[in-house]
Copies of this chain bind each other. A is one copy, B any other.
Amino acid sequence: MSVTAAKGFRAAGVAAGIKDAGLDVALIVNDGPTKAAAAVFTRNRVKAAPVLWSQQVVNDGRLDAVVLNSGGANACTGAEGFRDTHATAEHAAATLGISAADVAICSTGLIGVRLRLEALRGGVDKAAASLSAAGGDDAAVAILTTDTVPKQAVAVGGTSGPSGRQRDDDRAIPASGPAAQTTGGEVGGYTVGGMAKGAGMLAPALATMLVVLTTDAEVPAADLDRALRSATRRTFDRLDSDGCLSTNDTVLLLASGASGARPPYDEFARVVEEVCADLAAQLLSDAEGASKTIAIEVSRAATEADAVTVGRAIARNSLVKCAIHGEDPNWGRILAAIGTTDAAFEPERLAVAVNGVWVCRDGGIGEPRELADMSTRHVTITVDLAAGDATATVHTTDLTAAYVHENSAYSS
């Protein structure tokens, strides 16, 4: 269901021949009544043409439609590449009878090659002809590159008690699982749904990914923006599979208002974060070549920023990632990673647990490292900085020969 779980949205995913085979163009249309939208983009200074375009058009807080393609990132393609994106938006707008200034574009695939514009235009025509309220699944497939599975999530807000999506543990990014069914129709009830793609280059300030979220709640664009920034900061921004930062990362949130619900901001923001966390967990589970997912929980930091800095330093450390791949509770490498940061801590007060066993205490030898069982698919590293009361969790994966193989052989 994903992007069409919320009322007021139609979508399609079609095969346009940009890739050698399979679906490669997706189209999402917001039928309203509201067209409010917000977006977050890559912080990479080398931004793809579709990012430069979409930044402009979402600036007024309105989007009517989104065109997405796999098979080419349209990054580092200069003025010609920007013209290709502009032409795509104009073509979609003409087809749909809307303004190009309300059409966002997202592209993913190889950097540094021009898109096959005629194929993309044909794909837009084909997608426009097959738009439907059941098109979310095809759209989620059409944006995939090296992903092995499509990623979708749905949550329901405005009902009493916890939202419709069950949290199955207490991690910031809950484990992936089947999305809750849309129950819809309650008085004041509303839905937030979304789709994501991304398997490599997951990194801070957004993973390599395209995400489109939709809701039928009626929410002003400013609140959408605030909720989206808050959610991405605590979810996608804390994925770090390989420290690489894409040129094309885009997260869009569109609100149709079709449910009539006008949720309080805090509740709405919580539901948006829940969907983002669900999608982030799915991205992590599908990270290229990974054999393990790793949660790095940093506690007793002086500030949340310090906790994230330490978590990220560990998440990006190749030697730590190799050790976890080898199921070696090599806490010395973890301390060495912490030591590269400027976070507040005293080396002789650090403590580190691996899957719950405190192998390092007071900056030195703790429980015997043999006690730490690392045979689990999910590994938890807990760091106690003994410097305050802030916490944060950063998520990563292990470093494997499969990662090297996939990224040696695949141009992206």
B412 x A319 contact (CB < 8 A): yes
Picked from B73, B328, B335, B365, the residue with its CB within 8 Å of the CB of A247 is: B335
Q: How far is the CA of A241 from the CA of B369 in the complex (A)?
A: 27
What count of chain A residues pass the 8 Å CB interface test?
66
B contact residues around A399 at 8 Å (CB): 318, 404
Picked from B200, B336, B360, the residue with its CB within 8 Å of the CB of A245 is: B336
Q: How far is the CA of A339 from the CA of B318 in the complex (A)?
A: 21
B contact residues around A411 at 8 Å (CB): 323, 328, 330
B contact residues around A76 at 8 Å (CB): 331-332, 335, 360, 363-365
Picked from B318, B325, B331, the residue with its CB within 8 Å of the CB of A244 is: B318
Given A319-B412, A404-B399, A408-B323, verify A362-B78 contact (CB < 8 Å). Answer: yes
A378 within 8 A of B: no
Q: How far is the CA of A365 from the CA of B112 in the complex (A)?
A: 6
B contact residues around A339 at 8 Å (CB): 44-47, 245, 247
B338 x A46 contact (CB < 8 A): yes
Which residue of chain B has its CB nearest to the CB of A241?
B318
Given A76-B365, A337-B244, verify A404-B111 contact (CB < 8 Å). Answer: no
Write out, one digit per residue, whether chain A residues 330-349 have a CB within 8 A of any chain B CB (1) or not (0): 11110111111100010110
Picked from B45, B47, B78, B407, the residue with its CB within 8 Å of the CB of A364 is: B78
A365 x B78 contact (CB < 8 A): yes
B contact residues around A337 at 8 Å (CB): 244
Q: What's the dominant secondary structure at chain A's contact region?
A: loop
B364 x A111 contact (CB < 8 A): no
Q: Which of A118-160 contact B (CB under 8 A)?
A: none
A71 within 8 A of B: no
A77 x B364 contact (CB < 8 A): yes
Q: Specify which of A113, A318, A333, A412 lies most central, judged by the most chain B CB atoms within 10 Å of its CB.
A: A318
Q: Which of A346-367 contact B (CB under 8 A)?
A: 347-348, 350, 360, 362-365
A201 within 8 A of B: yes
Write out, one digit per residue, whether chain A residues 187-198 have a CB within 8 A of any chain B CB (1) or not (0): 000000000000
Which residue of chain B has its CB nearest to the CB of A80?
B364
B contact residues around A80 at 8 Å (CB): 364
Q: Which of A22-59 contact B (CB under 8 A)?
A: 43-47
A303 within 8 A of B: no
B408 x A318 contact (CB < 8 A): no
A316 within 8 A of B: yes
A83 within 8 A of B: no
B336 x A111 contact (CB < 8 A): yes
B contact residues around A75 at 8 Å (CB): 332, 335-336
A400 x B404 contact (CB < 8 A): yes
Q: How far is the CA of A368 from the CA of B201 in the complex (A)?
A: 25
Q: Which of A384-412 contact B (CB under 8 A)?
A: 399-401, 403-405, 407-409, 411-412
Q: How far is the CA of A113 from the CA of B201 in the complex (A)?
A: 35
A69 within 8 A of B: no
CB distance from A146 to the nearest CB of B (A): 12
Given A242-B319, A243-B318, verify A111-B333 contact (CB < 8 Å). Answer: yes
Given A76-B365, A340-B245, verify A407-B318 contact (CB < 8 Å). Answer: yes
Can you spell out 21 A-B residue pairs with CB atoms less than 8 angstroms apart?
A: A45-B345, A46-B339, A47-B339, A75-B335, A77-B364, A78-B348, A78-B362, A111-B330, A111-B333, A112-B335, A112-B360, A112-B365, A113-B365, A200-B319, A247-B336, A323-B407, A323-B411, A330-B412, A332-B412, A333-B412, A403-B404
A-B pairs, 7 with minimum CB distance: A111-B332, A326-B408, A46-B339, A78-B364, A322-B407, A401-B401, A44-B339
**A47-B347, A325-B408, A326-B408 known, 11 other contacts, Cβ within 8 Å:** A45-B340, A45-B345, A46-B347, A75-B336, A76-B364, A111-B333, A112-B369, A244-B319, A318-B399, A318-B403, A399-B404
